[in-house]
Amino acid sequence: MNISRRLSAVLLAGTVALSASTAAFAQTTLLNVSYDPTRELYKTINEAFAADWKAKTGQAITIRASHGGSGGQARAVIDGLKADVVTLALAPDIDAIAKQTNKIPADWQKRLPNNSSPYLSTIVLLVKKGNPKSIKDWDDLVKPGVGVVTPNPKTSGGARWNYLAAWGFALQKFNGDEAKTLDFMRALFKNAPVLDTGARGSTLTFAQRGIGDVLIAWENEAFLAFEEFGHDKFEIVVPSLSVLAEPPVTLVDGNADANGARKVAEAYLQYLYTPAAQKIIAKNYYRPLDPAAADPADVKRFPTLKLLKIDADFGGWPATHAKHFVDGGTFDKIYTPGK
């Protein structure tokens, strides 16, 4: 008797706590499902937006965040993670959600300025202080004995930008000869012994565990590691050519409507384009759309380099994705795990 009464008390307590937490969750919170390296950026943005929203509407709001490899995060939203907004590393991941759930309209990318990308970035190289392997450009990554750290393009959005940057360089170097470009990529990935699932995992592999000689990384991630681990440990190498990375954001209409949060979710995304947010964006090492709004000292940190564009130089994401990253694409051709 005693035992069963105690057990039912525990179960009851659990149920009450559960219903209380879901009720609280439904009213005042917004869930932003994002990719790996944006943790620090959105921590600051969320605080700033919550204060701004409170000042304008008087409504207090809690913004929740979930971070992980961009592809895996998209997968979770498809499987039912109730994101009100998604802020992922590249458009195909949001396209996948739109296609498989009908929670996002197919033309989502036209809803916000600049193809729904409120901030930009590029791909650079991070090496150990003093650059012991004298790595200056993408060529140096295919040399024997150079350990390359990059995440897995199958799960990580950043890794796909990394892949395209190297691909674009090789294609230019070999004057458009695709067979030679494939060989170049094969040699590059032969030098990459570990492929983490997300960009942050790779940063930790390189910076914390000291594996490899060069990290191919988001510019923002390279700067962050540079600041976190100390200027005396690493240096950033800017390659001769890279890609203009455009990480997109969008409302997950189906979830936001069910959550009754469409209005605040839309405001949240629009806030990203305001001067206040652009300033935070530049401070967190992302390239702002509107450099005039940012602190000039922050803008000065970004090096000028030749950047390939996904639409103009690669023929847009759908074609690029189909060519390189689907099963049987160029990545599957050049990469054999464990070799």
Partner 1 sequence: MPESVVHREPVHRDRDVARESRRIERVLIGVAIFILALFFFAPLAAVFYEAFRKGVPAFWKAIADDDTLSAIRLTLLVAAIAVPINTIFGVAAAWAIARFDFPLKSFLVTLIDLPFSVSPVVAGLSYVVLFGSRGYFGPWFAAHDIPVVFALPGIALATTFVTFPFVARELIPLMQQQGVDDEEAALTLGASPWRMFLTVTLPNIKWGLLYGVLLCNARAMGEFGAVAVVSGRIRGVTNTLPLHVEVLYGGFDLAGAFAVASLLAILALVTLVIKTALEWRHAEELAVKRRH
Residues at the contact surface with partner 1, assessed by CB under 8 A: 7, 10-11, 13-14, 17-18, 21-22, 25, 31, 36, 39-40, 62, 64-68, 76, 78-82, 100-101, 200-201, 204, 224, 228
Other Cβ atoms less than 10 A from the Cβ of 274: the count is: 16
Q: Measured from the CB of residue 208, what is the shortest distance to partner 1 in angstroms? A: 8
Distance of CA 67 to the CA centre of its chain: 9
For partner 1, give the closer residue by CB, 177 or 228.
228
Distance of CA 306 to the CA centre of its chain: 21
Q: Measured from the CB of residue 151, what is the shortest distance to partner 1 in angstroms? A: 13
Q: Measured from the CB of residue 103, what is the shortest distance to partner 1 in angstroms? A: 9
162 burial level (CB within 10 Å; 0-12, 13-18, 19+): buried
Q: Measured from the CB of residue 10, what is the shortest distance to partner 1 in angstroms? A: 5
For partner 1, give the closer residue by CB, 75 or 136.
75
Q: Measured from the CB of residue 315, what is the shortest distance to partner 1 in angstroms? A: 30
DSSP 302: S
Q: How many residues make up the chain in this entry?
A: 339
Residues 133 and 140: beta-carbon distance below 8 Å: yes
For partner 1, give the closer residue by CB, 126 or 293.
126
CA distances from 265 to 27, 62, 176, 241, 270 (A): 13, 12, 44, 36, 9
Calpha distance 22→304 (Å, rounded) = 48
DSSP 240: S
For residue 1, give every residue at least 6 positions away whose Cβ sits within 8 Å of its Cβ, in sequence order, or none: none
For partner 1, give the closer residue by CB, 48 or 78.
78
Q: Measured from the CB of residue 200, what is the shortest distance to partner 1 in angstroms? A: 5
For residue 268, give every residue at least 6 positions away whose Cβ sits within 8 Å of its Cβ, in sequence order, or none: 30, 32, 49, 53, 63, 85
For partner 1, give the closer residue by CB, 10 or 319.
10
For partner 1, give the closer residue by CB, 54 or 300.
54
